[in-house]
Chain A
Amino acid sequence: MATYIDPYGIRVGGPQPLPPKPLEYAEPNPIDGSDPLGVRIGKPFRIPFLQDNLLIDAQFGTFWLGTFGVLSIGFFFAGLIMWAGACLEQVHGHLELFFQYFANVQILPPDGGLGYAPTLESGGWWQWCVGLFALSVLCWLGRCFEHCRRHKWRPWLPFGFIVPIMWMGAVYFFHPVLMGTWAEAPQLGWYGDLDWANNFSIRWGNFYYNPFHQWAIASLFGSSLLIGAHAGTILATAAEGSHHEVAEIKELHSGSIKAMLFWKWTMGFNATPKSIHVWLWAFPAALGTACFCGIMANGIFTDNWYVWGVDHGTVKQYGPISRDAILHRPLAVPIEVDQPGLPRP
């Protein structure tokens, strides 16, 4: 209609303002500046030199907080302080010795049963450190869920994170609780952790004969293989745009088509841009599940995996097996030593 000025001095009609520009993904609300995702801190800065020289994007920031995120960082720094205190106590406060013996310092779990260690030195440091770091990791898991929720994504990322958390939980918590002592859990330390892996394997009769350990090794090799294959394939066909995986999932272009044809001709079947990522999620999940089962099976299935293997036909018996050694206690009526080839009593 024709344009005119109304009694209030407002122009009515005439050229109208354009509709508002659509927001970028997760851009702050232009009216009140609130963030649809929650609080994000840090003005982003770029280091252009790194764009091609480092394997990450050259922009650093912003960083999304979240209630769980703040809690996680808080617990983590608290645990770090406890860890530093325990290590410095071992080297009697000398900082240069801490760096010299960095690989040797270790924080040991308490002897005896479950429950609070009576003093810091007898295992309290360990309980504090492991407890705070565990809370930090659990809060980080909550942060993952929260973040995905804000983005309205499917929560496969936190699901994947749950797998190693369960594994670590089995090592540090569930298995010690079932065994009735914190001393089954690893000490914290470079060589200390490695010593635990060695001692744990010896105590449970050689982990190589644990079928869950074997499954885990297979999953690990499979994961490495899949990562190498997928990464190699995409990088090789990147010139034709296969690395734009989100677009390729919607509609295939020549890069992805060539990648799929390569594998089809190599092994007879191929994945799709989406399904390869399902494979890459599933194999590490299988790995973590196998590790969880392998740790929890100790004591439930057997006390000694070598003897289990002999009894179930996995390994050849090399010499007389003394089964009283497995029970770890002297018996009123001693068990006869089991000669090879004879059935178990």
Chain B
Amino acid sequence: MSLRRLLGPLVIVAVLVFAGALQPLLDKARADTINISGGQDPGPTAIQTRVQTVIGQGKRTWVPNQQSVTALTPFLGTPYGGPIPPDQAKGVGPVDQNAALDFSTQPKSVPHSYAPGRVYNVQVLKKYDYAGLVGQMAYFTQALGVQCTYCHNVKNYAYDTPTKLLARNMLQATVAINDSWVTPDKSVVPTQAVTGAVGCATCHRGSPRIDVHFNIVPVQYVQYHYKTTKQLGYVYNAMYGVARSLGVNCLFCHNTADFITLRYYPTNKLALRMFYMVDQINHHYFPPSVKAVTCYTCHQGEKWPSALVKAGDDQTPVQSFALQPDKHYNPGDPVAMNGNARNHEPLNGWDTLYPDRFWGSPGVP
């Protein structure tokens, strides 16, 4: 063992140590170019450059940091959205308190001199009196992580600012989601009652502006008769986004022996309803300035969003629908029911005729 033989490994180790020592300097240089959205820190070290602080939650999710590339999809169909560019990061933003009030464009119910204690210009939250309204406002402050000055002109709280108009839109959307989608879904998921409802915090989680984590929605791929492998790649990316948004894998909804033909699984009805809901939200309730709402917006990586308003139990166990084929989530649907022996119609030739067969069904005679 001569010293010359050690030279090779020593050189390699020296290079690694040098690079490791250089790393914090490289991070500092990169940190200056990272977009900061919502005023949050993007992340300390180079090892975590693919990790970004989720705004308002303090948790880390695996999202690549996009830097000076403002186009969000250089890689076609990939689900990662990334942070919002700084010119859009603050959103509609705090209201300019020094702006002159122009009452010619306001509704008639807005008073020229605001007197606290009375309710003016309320169109969605009509059922609240003044105290209740102020309570709702307090909830908005907490759920969105903003102060009154973000939406209101404090000289006249009834004055309609652009932010107030957007908030009104959001309130209408929330009410519509709860009435049209969340409540009726109870019939589809009988074993777990939907004990909560969607509120401001479900999506906003303490920030007025939310990052788009997966900029691909699956609704456009429902009934998509793809012809090529490349087209199926888009479907796969959408499904991957759904799976990551819910914090599950493919087996939660599918039987991976065959995605294509084994598609009549009990869970697909619920999944389809959710896809249509997301599509309705995106096109019907939100203006184009709002970036796309996806599964992640509400679910935030949980199968059961823990930020549901009045959630009864955030430990609610949500089991995989695909791995429990004997639970009939779609009663009366002859396709979704797999012909389980507990059903009233046992089918022949599958596992009732040859229950112990090793190599599979008898095959075509």
B258 is an interface residue with CB less than 8 A from chain A: yes
Q: Which 3 A-B pairs have the closest CB atoms?
A: A341-B349, A183-B228, A306-B258
- Chain B residues in 8 Å Cβ range of A315: 257, 360
Chain B, 256-276, CB within 8 A of any chain A CB? 256-265
Please give 11 more A-B residue pairs, beta carbons under 8 A apart, in addition to A199-B233, A304-B261, A317-B361.
A90-B75, A195-B233, A200-B229, A205-B260, A304-B258, A307-B258, A318-B255, A320-B262, A328-B226, A341-B349, A343-B364
- Chain A residues in 8 Å Cβ range of B75: 90, 101, 104-106
Whether the pair A313, B361 counts as a contact (CB closer than 8 A) is yes
Q: Of B62-70, B129-137, B143-151, B308-316, which binds chain A?
A: B62-70
A179 is an interface residue with CB less than 8 A from chain B: yes
- Chain A residues in 8 Å Cβ range of B255: 318-319
Closest to A327 in B: B225
- Chain B residues in 8 Å Cβ range of A181: 227-228
Closest to B7 in A: A49
* B residues apposed to A, CB below 8 Å: 4-5, 7-8, 49, 64, 67-69, 71, 74-76, 78, 225-233, 236, 255-265, 325, 335, 338-339, 347-350, 353, 357, 359-365
Chain A, 78-128, CB within 8 A of any chain B CB? 90-92, 94, 97, 100-101, 104-106, 108-109, 111
- Chain B residues in 8 Å Cβ range of A319: 255, 262, 264-265, 325, 338
| Bound Cα distance A304, B229 (Å) | 13
Q: Chain A binding site: helix, strand, loop or mixed by DSSP?
A: loop
* A residues apposed to B, CB below 8 Å: 49, 53, 90-92, 94, 97, 100-101, 104-106, 108-109, 111, 179, 181, 183-184, 187, 195-196, 198-200, 202-203, 205-206, 304, 306-307, 309-323, 325-326, 328-330, 337, 339-344
Closest to A298 in B: B229
Within the complex, what minimum Cβ distance (angstroms) separates A205 from chain B?
5
Whether the pair A340, B350 counts as a contact (CB closer than 8 A) is yes
A-B contact pairs, 22 of them (CB 8 A): A53-B5, A53-B8, A100-B49, A106-B75, A183-B229, A183-B231, A200-B229, A202-B260, A203-B260, A206-B258, A304-B258, A306-B261, A307-B261, A310-B363, A313-B362, A322-B264, A328-B227, A340-B347, A340-B361, A341-B347, A341-B348, A343-B365
| Bound Cα distance A214, B365 (Å) | 25
Determine which of A94, A106, A184, A314 lies in contact with B229 in the assembled complex, contact meaning CB atoms within 8 Å.
Answer: A184
| Bound Cα distance A100, B260 (Å) | 35
| Bound Cα distance A200, B231 (Å) | 10
Whether the pair B261, A205 counts as a contact (CB closer than 8 A) is yes
Whether the pair A311, B261 counts as a contact (CB closer than 8 A) is no
Determine which of A100, A104, A111 lies in contact with B230 in the assembled complex, contact meaning CB atoms within 8 Å.
Answer: A111
